[in-house]
Structure 1
Amino acid sequence: MDRMRMLPSSLPRERLLKYGEKSLSNAELLAIVLRTGGRGKNVLELGSEVLRNFDDSLVKLSRASLNELSELKGMGRVKAITLKAVFEIARRYYDELLGKNVRKIGNIEDVLSLCRDMIYMEREVLRIISLASNLVVLSVDDLTVGTPNATLADPKDILRMVIKNGAEGFVMVHNHPSGEAYPSRLDVEISKRLKRACKTLEIDFLDHVIISKNGHYSFKRDGRNLRW
């Protein structure tokens, strides 16, 4: 029998060398990042415990603050800093990947590809996708961060950003952490105000998309009854 197949999960580095990174559990990968255990725990036990503190969710773990991570038993400042750096590298990789793959908005799926990271955000975020006249993406900017139930959107700030980017048009996207993608009364009101202002300035307000973990809503596609 191949002795390497007998490798216990407490040896994640050796298991990665033999079987590849995809064969490892989240706890084993985390153990490699953390390098050492602490306070009577080996590194795998520490990795498993850290994950349990965040419901075994990498998404929730990635949102933890530096102080929250540092205060976990066995972590400390250095391990917390390392973990924050790893998640930031992952976020930048994702941003770069999206930037290379989506250069032009042709349909709602292109919009969603630029905004999938918003699905699990705990607060409402307003994202502006600025576009050239041929719908080439000029810039993707997060303009405001609100509460779990509302984002503070000012049409003047939105248009100032679009004009600054030299855009001919834009798509506005925001998330609903509640999971319900249908627009609120305030969402409809802001969209109408913004559309009137865009008409005056001859800027194309192409769509307002609401994204959530349970789906999405497009004013252009779904909002005819709202008369926006």
Structure 2
Amino acid sequence: MVDNFILTRRQALCYVRSAVQIAGLPIAILALLICTSLISPLYPAPVQNNRVQDIIDNSTITRIQKPIAIRTDRETLEYFIEHVEELAKHGGAFKKKELILEDRGNRRYGIHMPLKHVTGEFELVEWQPQTAVYLGHGNATIFFNFSGVIVLKVDYTTQNDTTGYYEEVQTSVSMKFDNAFLGLIARAASPILNRKLDKLITKLAAKTKKVVEDAYAKKKATK
């Protein structure tokens, strides 16, 4: 259902052209609800499974990232999974202009990106051994409002190579727009949006990896 979105044919075409140029930003941003990604909490029972599955099955955009190796132990990784807000506090990897995370209790977090006019909220809704699932909702205002829901799934397994043990982490993101019309625009512009989204996720993943590895290195140094 389109929410009171009445446009002439000419206006619609203008929005389509603008969205191809602009939508990558708000969409990618919604992904942040994500990318606080590489990390989630201590096994709460599955919650809202039906809603999560509906978003995955009917997503506007789905991106599955290649696994990355994080040189850490399981304990450190899961600490950040459960305390996502700590990502923005450790090591200065995330600047306040880029990302502000607020702990709202009960594994719920606020997210704000001042430079991008983006706000949102997400929560850890499922945490089983080696899998964490976050559910979020956010919006960005750039000429007109984009809003939608996101499911971020984080899978992690302990691996071993010649340099020792590490955690292999893979994230998948499913995004569904609240506005059906803008969802159609996003699908039409997916070749552009997918590249922008992948770039943002990769950047956030790299910063998250650094925070976790630095925290693990400090922990080892104090033993």
Give the alignment's TM-score, normalised by structure 1. Answer: 0.23
Structure ranking higher on relative contact order (CA contacts 8 Å, 6+ apart): 2
Choose between structure 1 and 2: higher helix proportion.
1
More strand, by proportion = 2
| TM-score, length of structure 2 as denominator length | 0.24
